[in-house]
Amino acid sequence: MARPFAPGFRIPPDLLLRAYATGVFPMAESADDPEVFWVRPEMRGVIPLDTFHVPKSLGKTLRRNPFRIAFDTDFDGVIEGCAEARRDSTETWINAPIREAYGLLFENGHCHTVEAWTDEGLVGGLYGVTLGRAFFGESMFSRRTDASKICLVHLVKRLRERGFTLLDTQFTTPHLKQFGAIDVPRNRYEQLLQEALQCGEARFNP
């Protein structure tokens, strides 16, 4: 079933993919902002897949299997959770045009989710865009301790299994640096991006 368009400003999915292919991504000033602006950082956050690190305390939690992990079953729930986590922040970029654009990418197979579930429902997750052998992480949220972190661990496992070569986090944070996230200059990032785009299309799902 076709996803309904939101009124006002729109980001065509093909334009969004072309932007990612050149190292550009959209953000919004607030959830209520009807438009977006385009970002091309001088320093870009990435998590090298071959040096991804699971903190010791998280490893203990992982062994307890506190969540059921799923992929691509509830895009709307994940993006709502991500927006909800930033509702009191001026740094959110999840406004109506972004919800619509990434929803269309999800329907077209270029946007994916990793989800943490309990008997109470969806308690954490993340979403991002795939293009070539690159995964562009967009946002994550937790309603339970470590839920988004565990989703990230499962994301990296899947990216490694499927032959992805680049995990873009846009920016680095203390939260991501504990997993091995680093900042790279824009020219180096664009080299990594082109390599990921030129070596074939990796499949996120079987």
Mean local confidence (pLDDT), 116-144: 97
CATH of residue 151: 3.40.630.70
Give the gyration radius of the chain's Cα atoms. 16
Question: 29-33, 47-51, 113-117, 142-146: which has the minimum mean pLDDT?
Answer: 29-33
**Residue 66 neighbours by CB distance under 10 Å:** 15
Can you tell me the distance from the alpha carbon of 174 to that of 179, in angstroms, rounded to the nearest whole number? 9
Question: Per the domain annotation, does 117 fall within a domain?
Answer: yes
161 has pLDDT over 60: yes
Beta bridge partners of 140: 126
In a domain, 96, yes or no: yes
Rounded (5°) CA angle 137-149-37: 30
- Answer whether residue 165 is part of any domain: yes
Segments forming the whole domain that contains residue 52: 11-197
Based on the structure, what is the number of domains in the chain? Answer: 1
Percent of the chain at pLDDT exceeding 70? 92
In a domain, 22, yes or no: yes
pTM of the model: 0.92
Q: Which residue has the tokens 């949220």?
A: 141
Residue 125 lies in a domain: yes
Is 4 within a domain? Answer: no
